[in-house]
């Protein structure tokens, strides 16, 4: 077992000591004035982070719970929805929709590609009654950024709500909900928000709230109508994940101190450095339209073997490809509690691991050098 462990996966991401300490406080009761103050601070901070005047609902679940809640609240039985499927998370929309008996039409996108907004417009023309267009801002299985701003333009003119899974995107790249016209924006705690898994978040536009108020699918624990009433009264509907919310307040303070623009610039800088390093090693980028939160590269050796070797020998945990991309790509995360030297560690581990497996086209340090040059030039 290597002496030190580095977690460089697109969820969960490392929890910084500052946040871990905030969560280690003695538990306040969730109906106490002390906790209500924290909740009020989180509600304000989340609106700022989401770029919305709407209430951001806080639920206790992983990210998939927010995806499920969005569809369960928004739809009526037998409704038609459209979903962009360009990876494992896109595929999940279809699974959830079918579980609720919805008629789900897939907009298939090859893994590694971003959806063409014209394809969504065509699909909406073919299904004019569709109530939702579901998509990922960052498809974490491929590292692709779908063009959310353009998709909002397309859905704005239709009756459908744009539902955006921003679980690995919010807090890493701009997604101003109200300004862009996103109808439902969803995220979770364990990616860019530097928290352990266990919290999920969702906000809805007035257009989406009209559907939510009119919905007739079964919902109880994740009933957004009840949640929004409770939150507006300054309360959580159920016993909330108190410790995680204490951590969330600290995360929001910290993001505020750094400034959202600086947070996004940091993610972008790390992404550019990682891509430069991979190209310098002779590796090609898998995502055609890469996200700033993770970098996906085509792996010149067996990706599963490389990841296992790097984890076991060097203590560096990277993610591999899933399903069709299994063994073929590496996913290097640089979101949340990530800085320049996390990129250097990831690149160094890949250089060393590739060399161990017999792939070495460039002198040691070539990738690291390219990363450092890019990080230095970005200032
Ligand atoms: C991580 C992630 C999710 C949520 O997965 P959970 O395991 O339920 O937290 C959803 N969508 C995307 C794009 C993700 O990266």
pLDDT in tens, 7-43: 999 999 999 999 999 999 999 999 999 999 999 999 9
CA 191 to ligand 1: nearest atom = 1
63 Cβ closer than 6 Å to some ligand 1 atom: yes
DSSP 8-class letter at 292: S
CA 136 to ligand 1: nearest atom = 13
Pocket test for ligand 1, best of 91, 185, 188 (most atoms within 8 A of CB): 188
SS3 201: strand
CA 137 to ligand 1: nearest atom = 13
Instruction: Name the stretches of the chain with pLDDT < 70.
Output: 378-379
Pocket test for ligand 1, best of 167, 200, 322 (most atoms within 8 A of CB): 167
Distance 88 CA to ligand 1 centre (A): 10
Distance 250 CA to ligand 1 centre (A): 22
Cα torsion angle, 275, 276, 280, 281, sign: negative
pLDDT in tens, 238-264: 999 999 999 999 999 999 999 999 999
The confidence score (pLDDT) of residue 95 equals: 98
Using an 8 Å Cβ cutoff, are 29 and 182 in contact?
Answer: no
11 Cβ closer than 6 Å to some ligand 1 atom: yes
Which distant-in-sequence residues (6+ apart) come within 8 Å of 97 by Cβ?
A: 71, 81, 83, 103, 104, 134
Determine which residue's CA is closest to atom 4 belonging to ligand 1: 63
């Amino acid at each position: 077992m290597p002496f030190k462990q580095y977690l460089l996966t697109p969820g969960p991401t490392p929890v910084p000591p500052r946040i871990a300490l905030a969560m280690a406080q003695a538990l306040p009761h969730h109906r106490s004035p002390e906790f209500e103050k924290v909740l009020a601070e989180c509600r304000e901070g989340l609106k700022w982070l989401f770029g919305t005047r709407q209430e951001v609902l806080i639920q206790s679940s992983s990210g998939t719970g927010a995806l499920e809640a969005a569809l369960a609240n928004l739809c009526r039985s037998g409704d038609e929805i459209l979903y962009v499927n360009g990876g494992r998370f896109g595929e999940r929309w279809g699974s959830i929709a079918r579980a609720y008996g919805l008629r789900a039409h897939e907009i298939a996108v090859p893994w590694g590609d971003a959806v063409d907004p014209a394809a969504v417009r065509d699909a909406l023309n073919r299904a004019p009654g569709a109530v939702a267009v579901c998509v990922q801002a960052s498809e974490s299985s491929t590292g692709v950024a779908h063009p959310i701003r353009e998709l909002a333009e397309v859905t704005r003119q239709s009756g459908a709500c744009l539902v955006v899974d921003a679980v690995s995107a919010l807090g890493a790249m701009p997604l101003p909900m109200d300004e862009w016209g996103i109808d439902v924006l969803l995220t979770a705690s364990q990616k860019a928000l530097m928290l352990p898994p266990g919290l999920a978040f969702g906000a809805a536009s007035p257009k989406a709230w009209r559907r939510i108020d009119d919905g007739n699918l079964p919902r109880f624990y994740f009933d957004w109508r009840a949640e929004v009433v409770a939150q507006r009264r300054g309360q959580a509907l159920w016993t909330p994940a108190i410790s995680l919310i204490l951590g969330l307040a600290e995360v929001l303070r910290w993001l505020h101190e750094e400034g959202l623009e600086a947070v996004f610039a940091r993610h972008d800088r790390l992404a550019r450095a990682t891509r430069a390093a991979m190209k310098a090693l002779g590796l090609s980028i898998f995502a055609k339209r890469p996200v700033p939160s993770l970098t996906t590269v085509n792996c010149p050796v067996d990706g599963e073997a490389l990841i296992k070797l790097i984890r076991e020998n060097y203590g560096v945990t990277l993610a591999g490809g899933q399903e069709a991309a299994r063994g073929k790509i590496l996913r290097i995360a640089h979101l949340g509690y990530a800085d320049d030297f996390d990129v250097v560690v990831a690149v160094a581990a890949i250089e060393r691991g590739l060399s161990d497996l017999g792939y070495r086209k460039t002198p040691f340090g070539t990738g690291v050098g390219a990363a450092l040059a890019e990080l230095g030039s970005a200032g």
